[in-house]
């Protein structure tokens, strides 16, 4: 699995871009389009998670890279704030209470369920037209074991809890470089291989 690397400065820049993308919608302006370089210019899947006082307030992502990472993060931040169907659109008065977390994904790797390690890998489950994804941090935040993880993933896809065991089920794993606002800086980070 390919390793993904971002410097501390690049992580700070991505968090600022995500916040600016949301704030610009309230201001009725277009966010500035920075010229990406280094890790920010590489195509990578990414999720942006918004939390309000520690509670989920929106989470939207793109699993597979396409545009430069900086563009993906800006778009996903906007979608998490205003387009996550589980929540009403974010209001300007909420923005000061929102913290942003970004998960930059390594490329998908086909695998078996036993190849997914809780707290290390996220997973994409596909059965026919049904799909669902969990980021690596979801299982540890929820206190799930592997069976819980895949049962909840199956339900999230709109399938019976044991659909992941089906011969038609396809499982892909990935790792994520996860960082957020308010975290202590600890230098450069990698999504380990």
CATH fold for the domain made of 4-106: Glycoprotein, Type 4 Pilin (3.30.700)
3-state DSSP of the chain = CCCEEECHHHHHHHHHHHHHHHHHHHHCCCCCCCCCCHHHCCECCEEEEEEECCEEEEEEEECCCCCEHHHHHHHHHHHHHHCCCCCCCCCHHHHHHEEEEEEEECCCEEECHHHCCCCCCEEEEEECCEEEEECHHHHHHHCCCHHHHHHHHHHHCCCCCCHHHCCCCEEEEECEEEEECCCCCCCCEEECC
Q: Which tokens in the block code for residue 79?
A: 């979608």
CA distances from 17 to 62, 129, 131, 154 (A): 17, 33, 29, 33
The answer to whether 124 and 131 are in contact (CB under 8 A) is yes
CA distances from 166 to 115, 163, 175 (A): 16, 5, 24
| pLDDT score, position 188 | 45
| pLDDT score, position 115 | 97
- In terms of phi and psi (left: phi > 0; alpha: psi -120 to 50; beta: otherwise), the region of 4 is beta
- Name 29's bridge partners: none
- Taking the model in full, what pTM does it have? 0.84
Domain locations in the chain as residue ranges: 4-106, 109-174
Q: Is the pLDDT of residue 34 over 80?
A: no
- Name 5's bridge partners: 190
| pLDDT score, position 3 | 52
**pLDDT-based confidence at 193, cuts 50/70/90?**
very low
Tens digits of residue pLDDT in 35-75:
667 778 888 999 999 999 989 999 999 998 888 999 999 99
**pLDDT-based confidence at 138, cuts 50/70/90?**
very high
Q: Is the pLDDT of residue 19 over 90?
A: yes
Tens digits of residue pLDDT in 82-137:
999 999 999 999 999 999 999 999 999 999 999 999 999 999 999 999 999 999 99
Q: Which tokens in the block code for residue 90?
A: 């974010």
CATH superfamily of 109-174: Hypothetical protein ph0010; domain 2 (3.30.1490.150)
Backbone φ and ψ for 64, nearest 5 degrees, come out as -110, 140
Tens digits of residue pLDDT in 148-168:
999 999 999 999 999 999 999
């Amino acid at each position: 699995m390919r390793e993904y690397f971002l410097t501390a400065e690049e992580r700070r820049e991505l968090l600022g871009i995500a916040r600016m993308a949301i704030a610009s919608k309230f201001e009725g302006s277009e966010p500035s389009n920075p010229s990406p370089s280094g890790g920010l210019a590489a195509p990578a899947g990414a999720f942006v998670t918004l939390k309000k006082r520690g509670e989920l307030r929106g989470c939207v992502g793109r699993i597979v890279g396409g545009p430069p990472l900086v563009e993906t993060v800006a778009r996903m931040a906007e979608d998490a704030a205003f387009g996550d169907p589980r929540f009403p659109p974010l209001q300007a008065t909420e923005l000061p209470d929102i913290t942003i977390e970004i998960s930059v994904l390594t490329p998908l790797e086909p695998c078996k369920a036993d190849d997914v390690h809780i707290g290390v890998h996220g997973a994409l489950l596909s059965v026919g037209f049904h799909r669902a994804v969990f980021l690596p941090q979801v299982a540890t935040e929820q206190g799930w074991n592997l069976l819980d993880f895949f049962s909840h993933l199956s339900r999230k896809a709109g399938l019976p809890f044991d659909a992941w065991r089906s011969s038609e089920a396809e499982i892909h794993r990935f790792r994520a470089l996860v960082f957020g606002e308010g975290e202590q800086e600890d230098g450069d980070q990698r999504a380990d291989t």
